[in-house]
C-alpha cells in the first residue's frame, strides 16, 4: 500500500469519525423530545378523560332532565289516573336497538326514542359504502306535547326504555312515569318490506292535555339529504320535497333554491326525495297542516336540508285513557310499481 493510499484511508476514517460525532444525538435534545412527547401523550389522556367525564355528566343531566320533565308533565292529571304508585326512576345508559328485515336496517335510539339511522340493504353509494338515507345527527324526530298547565314535553330531549317484541318485528320506545302513565313510540317492520308502521301512544292523560294537544300531535321531522351518487350536480337537480293534498294531486318544491311552504289544507303525505331514494311520511289520517322547508347545502356529503313541522289528528279513547296517532314510513327506492302497490298515491 503506497503512501497516498494510506493517507486517503486515514482521511476517510477521520471523516467518518467526525461525521458520527457531529450527528450523535444531543442528550439534552433527546430529553427535550421525550418530555414533549410525554406531554402530548398526557394531553391526549386528559382530553379523553375529560370527554368521558363530560359524557357521564351529559348522561346524568339528561336523566335528571327526563325525571323533571316527565314528572312535571304527567303530575297534572285527574286524581283517578294516579291510583298506582310511582315506580323508582331508573334509566339505562343510552343504547341503540336494531330493527331490520331483508330490505331495511334501522337503528333506534333510546335518547329521544327516534330513528338513529336507516340503511337500505342491497344498495351502495357511489364510493361502495353502505347506503344510508340518514345516520346520526343527519336525522331528527321530535313530538311536542302540552298539558293543561302548558307544561311542554319534547320527546327528543328525553331518555326512553326499549321493549322488544318476542318475534323481533316490533320495538316500543317507552317514556314512563308510572304503570298507567307513559308515552310509547311503537315501530313495527314487517318481513321483506320497505314500509314500516309507526304509532304514537300517550296513556294516562284523560282531561290532562292542553287544548292544543287535544286535537293534534305536533311532530318535527328533519333530514339532511345525503349524497349517494357520483354525479352530484345531477343528483341535486333531481332531489326535492314532494307532498300530496288529500284526494288531490301531488306537488313539488324547488330543487335549486331555498323554499318554504305553509300548507293549511289536509296533506296525505310528504316525501324527502333524492335522485333514486326517498323517505315518505304517511299519516293514518291526513295531516291538518304542514310547514315544509328545503335548503340547499354547500357540502361534499350532503345535498339539502329538509324539514317538516306537521300536525297529525289524534284518536282518543276515554275508556282506555289513551290518545294515539298512527303513521307509515316508507324508506326505500323510488320504484313506481313498489310505491303504487301501497295505494297512497305516492
pLDDT in tens, 210-263: 887 888 999 999 999 999 999 989 999 999 999 999 888 899 999 999 999 999
Q: pLDDT at position 60, please? A: 56
Distance of CA 133 to the CA centre of its chain: 11
**Domain boundaries, given as residue ranges, for the chain:** 73-340
Cα(252)–Cα(241) distance, rounded to whole angstroms? 6
> Where does the chain show beta strands of DSSP type E?
96-100, 104-109, 115-124, 130-135, 139-146, 152-154, 161-164, 170-178, 181-188, 195-203, 216-226, 240-245, 250-252, 259-263, 267-273, 277-283, 289-296, 302-313, 315-317, 322-333
Q: What is the mean pLDDT of residues 329-339?
A: 88
C-alpha cell at position 252:
313539488
For residue 76, is pLDDT > 60?
A: no
Q: Which long-range contacts (CB under 8 A, 24 or more apart) does 116-121 make?
A: 118/279, 118/331, 120/277, 120/331, 120/332, 120/333
More confident residue, 28 or 302: 302
Residue 199 — very low, low, confident or very high, per pLDDT cuts 50/70/90? Answer: very high
Q: What is the mean pLDDT of residues 177-188?
A: 92
Mean pLDDT of all residues belonging to the chain: 84
- Of 66-75, 85-94, 188-197, the one with minimum mean pLDDT is 85-94
For residue 335, is pLDDT > 70?
A: yes
Q: Which residue has the cell 304527567?
A: 74
C-alpha cell at position 275:
335522485
Q: pLDDT at position 81, please? A: 43
Q: pLDDT at position 209, please? A: 82
Q: pLDDT at position 18, please? A: 59
More confident residue, 67 or 286: 286
Q: pLDDT at position 289, please? A: 96
For residue 20, is pLDDT > 90?
A: no
Q: pLDDT at position 249, please? A: 87
Alpha carbon distances (Å) from 60 to 53, 55, 67: 10, 8, 10
pLDDT over 70, % of the chain: 74
Which of 7-11, 15-19, 115-119, 341-345 is most confident? Answer: 115-119
Domain range 73-340, CATH architecture: Distorted Sandwich (2.70)
Q: pLDDT at position 151, please? A: 86
Q: What is the mean pLDDT of residues 3-25?
A: 63
Q: pLDDT at position 178, please? A: 81
Q: How many CB atoms lie within 10 A of CB 108?
A: 23
- Of 15-29, 107-121, 216-230, 315-329, the one with minimum mean pLDDT is 15-29
Q: What is the mean pLDDT of residues 112-132?
A: 96
pLDDT in tens, 133-182: 999 999 999 999 988 888 888 999 999 999 999 999 999 999 988 888 89
Distance of CA 253 to the CA centre of its chain: 24
End-to-end alpha carbon distance in the chain:
97
Is the Cβ–Cβ distance between 134 and 223 less than 8 Å? Answer: yes
Q: pLDDT at position 79, please? A: 41
Amino acid at each position: 500500500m503506497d503512501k497516498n493510499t494510506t493517507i486517503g484511508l486515514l482521511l476517510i476514517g477521520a471523516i467518518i469519525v467526525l461525521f458520527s460525532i457531529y450527528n450523535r444525538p444531543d442528550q439534552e435534545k433527546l430529553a427535550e423530545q421525550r418530555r414533549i412527547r410525554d406531554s402530548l401523550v398526557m394531553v391526549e389522556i386528559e382530553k379523553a378523560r375529560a370527554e368521558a367525564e363530560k359524557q357521564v355528566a351529559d348522561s346524568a343531566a339528561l336523566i335528571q332532565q327526563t325525571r323533571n320533565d316527565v314528572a312535571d308533565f304527567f303530575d297534572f292529571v285527574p286524581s283517578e289516573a294516579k291510583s298506582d304508585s310511582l315506580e323508582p326512576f331508573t334509566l339505562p345508559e343510552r343504547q341503540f336497538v336494531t330493527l331490520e328485515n331483508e330490505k331495511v336496517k334501522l337503528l333506534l335510539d333510546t335518547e329521544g326514542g327516534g330513528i338513529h339511522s336507516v340503511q337500505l340493504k342491497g344498495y351502495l353509494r357511489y364510493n361502495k359504502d353502505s347506503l344510508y338515507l340518514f345516520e346520526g345527527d343527519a336525522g331528527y324526530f321530535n313530538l311536542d306535547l302540552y298539558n293543561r298547565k302548558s307544561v311542554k314535553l319534547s320527546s327528543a330531549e328525553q331518555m326512553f326504555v326499549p321493549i322488544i317484541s318476542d318475534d323481533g318485528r316490533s320495538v316500543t320506545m317507552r317514556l314512563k312515569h308510572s304503570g298507567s302513565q307513559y308515552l310509547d313510540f311503537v315501530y313495527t317492520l314487517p318481513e321483506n318490506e320497505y314500509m314500516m308502521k309507526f304509532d304514537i301512544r300517550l296513556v294516562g292523560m284523560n282531561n290532562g292535555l292542553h287544548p292544543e294537544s287535544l286535537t293534534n300531535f305536533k311532530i318535527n321531522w328533519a333530514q339532511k339529504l345525503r349524497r349517494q351518487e357520483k354525479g352530484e350536480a345531477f343528483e341535486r337537480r333531481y332531489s326535492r320535497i314532494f307532498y300530496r293534498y288529500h284526494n288531490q294531486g301531488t306537488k313539488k318544491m324547488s330543487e335549486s333554491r331555498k323554499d318554504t311552504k305553509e300548507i293549511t289544507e289536509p296533506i296525505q303525505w310528504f316525501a324527502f326525495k333524492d335522485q333514486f331514494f326517498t323517505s315518505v311520511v304517511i299519516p293514518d289520517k291526513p295531516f291538518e297542516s304542514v310547514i315544509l322547508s328545503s335548503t340547499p347545502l354547500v357540502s361534499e356529503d350532503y345535498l339539502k336540508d329538509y324539514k317538516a313541522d306537521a300536525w297529525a289528528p289524534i284518536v282518543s279513547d276515554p275508556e282506555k285513557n289513551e290518545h294515539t296517532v298512527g303513521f307509515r314510513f316508507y324508506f326505500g327506492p323510488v320504484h313506481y310499481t313498489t310505491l303504487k302497490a301501497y295505494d297512497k298515491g305516492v
